[in-house]
Chains A and B, each alone.
Chain A
């Protein structure tokens, strides 16, 4: 039973570029959440997708956008990258209504030069 998978593992971009990160949820899960974890900090909630729509959003600018596909996989897009966007981006999946906690992937390490 595959867990949450994220790609790529590492990514290096320059300021002003755009990036797309991908996530496949754990089998049987229909909800995907994205978090940003800066060095030395706890994960910060970006947004959550369910039924292909953004259901909740944290305190992140519109440069951060996402998408969920019919197979429940998800993408996180970040435009106009800033140095401060350097972080580990985590995807977590869960099953709505199951009263079960979120399961996390290994993350994508994004470095902005």
Chain B
């Protein structure tokens, strides 16, 4: 069975600070990896995804993530956060197929940016 761990439950940063949110997964096979963001009152939106190829993937709004297979990790990074990045961030994984197999989510990290 797949599982996803997000160790940071709530992160508080000042604007312009750098961000790294941790994500570790457990699964015996090849996986697809995702980061979704949920802004207050909005639906889950895809930030970025990794299916194969370059382990450093870039997403929307200046976010990037690095897949480290040996560490089963897919950490999310942003060099300089903005107040508008305040949201809930979810890491997710599914079995390698066509990307629409069931998603297993972590418990989420609440990010609060202080102006």
**B100 and A96 contact, CB distance less than 8 A:** yes
Interface size on B, residues (CB 8 A): 25
Interface string of A95-110 (1 = CB under 8 A from B): 1111111111111000
B81 to chain A: closest CB distance in Å?
A: 22
Give the interface of B toward A (CB within 8 A).
4, 6, 32, 34, 36, 42-46, 49, 51, 90, 92, 98-108
Contacts of A86 in B (CB 8 A): none
Q: A41-B108, A43-B44, A101-B34 are in contact. Are A48 and B102 (CB under 8 A)?
A: yes
Interface size on A, residues (CB 8 A): 30
Name the one of A40, A43, A97 contacting B105, with C-beta atoms under 8 angstroms.
A43
**B44 and A104 contact, CB distance less than 8 A:** yes
Report how far A93 CA is from B41 CA in the complex, Å. 20
**A98 and B99 contact, CB distance less than 8 A:** yes
Report how far A40 CA is from B32 CA in the complex, Å. 24
Contacts of A94 in B (CB 8 A): 99-100
**B90 and A43 contact, CB distance less than 8 A:** yes
Q: What residue of chain A has the Cβ atom nearest to residue B2's Cβ?
A: A45
Contacts of A40 in B (CB 8 A): 107-108
Give the interface of A toward B (CB within 8 A).
3-4, 31, 33, 35, 40-45, 48, 56, 58, 90, 92, 94-107
B32 to chain A: closest CB distance in Å?
A: 8
Contacts of A104 in B (CB 8 A): 36, 43-45
Contacts of A41 in B (CB 8 A): 107-108
Report how far A31 CA is from B103 CA in the complex, Å. 13
